[in-house]
Amino acid sequence: MNRFALSVVASLAALSLCVPASLLAAEPGGEIVAKMGTIEITLPDARKLLEILPPEIRAQLVASPVAMEKALRAEIMRRAVLAEAASKHWEQRPEVVHQIERAREQVIVGSYVSDLARPAADYPSEQEIKTAYEANKASLLAPVQYHVAQIFLALPDGADKAAAAAVERKAVELAKAAHAKGADFAALARKASEHRETAASGGDMGWLPEDRIAPEMRSAIAALAPGAVSEPTRSPQGWHIFKLLERKGAAQRSLAEVRDALVQAMRRKKAQENETQYLQELVAKTPLAVNGIALDKLVEPQK
């Protein structure tokens, strides 16, 4: 499982501790969206799972079929492991009972503090937003953008040395042809590129923000002058030959462009401040004391 899928599983696992088992159980009769042996996730079941996820993770899933599939695969694997553990009464082991209770308490504490720290609905005000925008203009720049075309040759996972060498030789030949005087890069891409989404349009990848380009590709593209063609560039997927069509320098984003992101950042910061203030006030009302003598008994002597 990749890092994103693992984060979804972690969220589902934590939330499931405080959600009735009946809510997480697959609903019979619903359309099945994932199945592993006797374990199923139905459409109503999947919708319930989405409802209990944090809004930011839910938004990522509903916006991407690929991410949704990975999350469903991860969740059904989680359920398969859970079913096997349950068949062995694993949840009755004393150390597991303790961990479950600690996790349940942590969910309660996190939810309670998060609710207390949530900024008022009308925060920030329009004036506060404008002030924050002016104070952070230097960091609110649109990145450099590149209008790029490519010829791509795939290198399948597990390809042997001979196959890998053959793909590299073909990439070198195509790069040589693309560098030739009067070469038609678009025609070469339509004929030879194995990236179906761009080959039909002459390899045109559209405008790519600098911060969204993989590092190994970014360095090759950034070194090009408009109209120039790169040498073959290796990526985990295969070989790329790039042509830089146009370049746009970094530009100041308007308040309208960054308003939503700025508001979210301000609300996150305010929530952190509110949480810190709440904890400080809690300690002020009921001073915290630690018994140093007893503490020493918990700490192993330094050797």
User: For residue range 170-185, what is the model confidence (pLDDT) as tens digits?
Assistant: 999 999 999 999 999 9
**DSSP result, 138-179:** GG-EEPPEEEEEEEEEE--TT--HHHHHHHHHHHHHHHHHHH
Q: How far are the Cα atoms of 152, 178, 236, 243, 297 from residue 217, in angstroms, in the given order?
A: 12, 18, 11, 12, 56
Query: Bigger pLDDT: 158 or 36?
Result: 36
Q: Which of 264, 250, 214, 215 is nearest to 139 (CA)?
A: 250
Q: pTM surpassing 0.85?
A: no
CB < 8 Å & 24+ apart, contacts of 171-174: 171/232, 171/239, 171/241, 172/232, 174/232, 174/241
C-alpha distances in angstroms, 107 versus 11, 128, 148, 271? 10, 32, 47, 17
What's the CA gap between 102 and 285, in Å, rounded? 25
Q: How confident is the model at residue 135 (pLDDT cuts 50, 70, 90)?
A: very high
Q: What are phi and psi of 212, to 5 degrees?
A: -105, 5
Which token pair is 203? 């390899």
Per-chain mean pLDDT for the chain: 88
pLDDT digit string (tens) for 136-179? Answer: 998 899 999 999 999 999 998 788 999 999 999 999 999 999 99
Question: What are the tokens at 296?
Answer: 């020493």
pLDDT above 50 for 204:
yes
- Greater confidence (265 vs 19) lies with 265
Residue range 63-117, pLDDT digits in tens? 888 888 998 999 999 999 999 999 999 999 999 999 999 999 999 999 999 999 9
Domain range list for the chain:
3-93, 126-136+254-298, 143-251
Q: With 80 as the cut, is the pLDDT of residue 230 above it?
A: yes
- Do the beta carbons of residue 195 and residue 152 sit within 8 Å? yes
Residues 6+ apart with CB under 8 A from 141: 250, 251, 252, 253
Can you give the pLDDT at residue 7? 52
- Is pLDDT above 50 for 16? no
- In one-letter notation, the amino acid at residue 124 is P
Residue 22: pLDDT band with limits 50, 70, 90: very low
Give me the CATH code for the 143-251 domain, please: 3.10.50.40
